[in-house]
Structure 1
Amino acid sequence: MGWFQVVFLAVIQGLTEFLPISSSAHLILPAQLFGWEDQGLTFDVAVHVGTLAAVLIYFREDVYKIAVAWFASFAGKGFTKEAQLGWWIIIATIPVVIFGATLKDFIEGNLRSVLVIGAASIFFGLLLLWADKAGSRKEPLEVLGFKGAFAVGLAQVFALIPGTSRSGVTMTASLFLGQTRDSAARFSFLLSIPVILGAGLFKGKDLAEQGGDASLMAAGVGALLAAISAYLCIKLFLVFINRIGVMPFVIYRCVLGVCLIATAYWVPVQSI
């Protein structure tokens, strides 16, 4: 890869991993327009490490408290709200693990196309807007409950469809359940930790079996840029989400979806 491609893809991965706008849509459009080849497993693993580092660093205090409380609950030292949150994250992760393993081959063979990504970007963007309008936006994260966490986890399964956006669909479910925008975003970000970790380990396993396919310098720069852009994205998103709402992201998704569908007719359709 050239350095422009390295910088562009790393920054885009860092930003779109946590914004409700779909990373798949942003990775395929420039590839279609510029004729870029696949960035390879080494680079994929590197940017996953970068985004995981970003969310762990930003939520380091929350992660520490959740982990300590979760383990303490086994020792009979009380079932605190942090321990509850730890269980909710686990429960919400189970569906995507099961369906991801089951549907992986079907998704790879049938859904990774420009048309699917464009349509999903538009549809799930409008669904996010509906959830924001229909939900009460009054409930704090503490009242989500086990059923609510499982419902968000089921919604996360739809993120397996390229173009959906994992953060977008989990926020959509939380908003439908009456969560505040801030609570919906926070739970989505915390829920990303096991998902990104699992995806990184899965790709790392493939990398170990197939060998490296990119320079260590490119991978290192990619990981660093992905981490920086992801950290800034999380920080700014949590600051501004209650002020700006979801409408800017919905409009952006719809425009992007239309552009992707248009390129499917102007540029030869390829799978990613």
Structure 2
Amino acid sequence: MASLRLVTLLILLVTGVHNSLEVDEQQRAAVPSAVVDMQTSLGTLERLLTALKTEVKCLMWPTALPIGMAQYQEPEIRACARSCLQLRNQGGASRDGVYWFTGMPAPVLCDFSHDGGGWTLLVTANSQTGWDMLSIFSRNPLSPSFTDNYSILGQADAIRDLGNSSRFAYRIEAQAAERGRRHWGGVWLAPRHYSFVDVQGLQTDVELVTKFDSWQYQDKGIEERMPWLRGGLDTVLTTSSADGDDWWGTLVISRLHSDAFWKHAPWIDGPEEEHSGTVLYWMREEEH
């Protein structure tokens, strides 16, 4: 509102300066005073322009940065929104890409094109290399990517808390780099109090609302459980149960012993879906 008032004052000042220069023959004697008035107005105009620049703390409709840059530098002015969903809800033609939001310690990758939009990318697991119970919280946070290992999972609960509804949404896509988007996964809704960094594996009250490809909940596949930090020798982030020997349905794997068979993670026991491929893990702090 303050910015709007400043712009209004600027318009009035410019109009006043313009009118002061429109003098007829009878007013030529008053030109010296008009010049003084104009100089005073221009000085005031300059001060208001400086104040206006100072007051622009954030951008309502920021431009998306292209996906795939090695590292994103913080812009001089961030987006006013605090999440991808907030930016979607502001209106305008938001585009898929990377944004710096107010209050976020790192840039985030937003998806406005699929499943209602407003999605924030939390994890990209492109391989098993380098993953453990520490890197899953934050890995290459300045380089959100579809093709390289990346995580801001440690920020997920803070983004969740920006929402107001009783449930939030999360989305899993497997084999994203190998087959394209929206395969062997889906969109789920979970209660507001569920955590993205749970370590118990008891968050099972989840609802699958959209399924990608044809699969069923099973021990040798995705289980009806929000991904959790299981730890142990093999798994980092998984839907597998705590007491099971199978570790299918795993998003992120950390192989501490030699096993060349798994480049990614065991996903669903089947001819096409056995390997997870590149996994994309998203969140949206509201159901819709």
TM-score, length of structure 2 as denominator length:
0.24
Higher relative contact order (CA 8 A, sep 6+): 1
Q: Which has the higher helix share?
A: 1
Structure in which a larger fraction of residues adopt strand? 2
- Computing the radius of gyration over CA atoms, which structure comes out larger, 1 or 2? 2
